[in-house]
Amino acid sequence: MNQSKMKIDQNTTLFGVVGFPLGHTLSPVMHNAAFEATGLNAVYLAFPTKDPEGCVRGMRALGIRGLSVTLPLKSAVLPFLDEVDPLAKMIGAVNTVVNDRGRLVGYNTDASGALKAMEERTALPNKRCLILGAGGAARAIGFILREKGVALCVANRSHQRGKELALSLQCPYIGLDEMEGRSADLLVQTTPVGMAPHVEESIVPESILRPHMVVMDIVYNPVETKLLRMARARGCVTVSGLRMFLYQGAEQFSLWTGIEPPVEAMRLAVEKALREGHEGN
Ligand SMILES: NC(=O)c1ccc[n+]([C@@H]2O[C@H](COP(=O)([O-])OP(=O)(O)OC[C@H]3O[C@@H](n4cnc5c(N)ncnc54)[C@H](OP(=O)(O)O)[C@@H]3O)[C@@H](O)[C@H]2O)c1
């Protein structure tokens, strides 16, 4: 961001991200660009911490208006909040906390951000979706897709974690080696495989990629992963993880400020940072 335009004084409102490690987070770049574009007297900082209670107490004590919450704190902060939005409660994790005059409310915009990115490219009800991965992001996406009437199937490397998620989502589970020959309308890749610097990796067998299938990879560095490149070449509709990242951030911005998020300014700032070699996470 352009530091010279940034005004910090006694009225500056404080926002930030908590989690550990935060070395690669692009959230400060994205949110500070949004504050600059909207002219808000606000700043967004990174607070590396593994202490869920401490960061919630700090937020209250210092009047921090909004926090993004990332690994390993997304579930751990829940008991310390005053209220948790019903979707976040169902998922069992928050990525956003709003400080509403001392009342701390948690939300999960990973889920709604992913949904918005997918709905830009396809209508979801009655689709059959294969979710690859069973971590926090898979869980958030799985619950919101289930709410939308999507028929799910989970595939994961570790059987136990995969089966647990499938049980929560009341859907079938398959091992990664059972993906071949599986047919789906939508594939959502939620593992870190393919993320820089391992850009030539993918765990999706090319043969399951069929024309018109919708393929989303939530990895956003690179913006076009090997999976998305293969999918595009085979005539699939592709959805980049960058759209999810932008929309989860845009929704955070509107929850915190109550104003329309400047999505274009946020996108340009994140793309510029990625072009300049920022690793993202
Ligand atoms: N675009 C966005 O806005 C956005 C938002 C959130 C997260 N993300 C990205 O999504 C990824 C996952 O995040 P998360 O919070 O869900 O992480 P997580 O809770 O640690 O889960 C990671 C999942 O990936 C699987 N996995 C990891 N390495 C693997 C490998 N080499 N081969 C096969 N499976 C592997 C794990 O399988 P096991 O169960 O077998 O360990 C697990 O299912 C991260 O790269 C994160 O940066 C993107």
- Domain coordinates in residue numbering, the chain: 3-108+243-280, 112-241
- Our answer to whether residue 50 is catalytic in this structure is no
Cβ of 138 less than 6 Å from ligand 1: yes
pLDDT digit of tens for each residue in the chain (281 aa)? 444 567 899 999 999 999 999 988 999 999 999 999 999 999 999 999 999 999 999 999 999 999 999 999 999 999 999 999 999 999 999 999 999 999 999 999 999 999 999 999 999 999 999 999 999 999 999 999 999 999 999 999 999 999 999 999 999 999 999 999 899 999 999 999 999 999 999 999 999 999 999 999 999 999 999 999 999 999 999 999 999 999 999 999 999 999 999 999 999 999 999 999 866 65
Q: From 1.20.1260.10, 3.10.20.30, 3.40.50.720, 3.40.50.300, which CATH number describes the 112-241 domain? A: 3.40.50.720
Name the amino acid, one letter, at 114.
Answer: A
Number of H helices, E strands in the chain: 9, 12
Its pTM stands at 0.95
Q: 232 CB less than 6 Å from ligand 1? A: no
Domain 3-108+243-280 is in which class? Answer: alpha beta
Cα distances (angstroms) measured from residue 53 to each of 49, 60, 78, 139: 10, 11, 9, 23
Same fold, 3-108+243-280 and 112-241: yes
190 lines ligand 1 (CB under 6 A): yes
**202-207, long-range: CB < 8 A, 24+ apart:** 202/226, 202/227, 202/230, 203/132, 203/176, 204/132, 204/179, 204/230, 205/179, 205/180, 206/230, 206/234, 207/180, 207/181
CA of 273 to the centre of ligand 1 (A): 22
188, 214 in Cβ contact below 8 A? no
Angle, vertex CA 204, rays to CA 201 and CA 73, nearest 5: 75
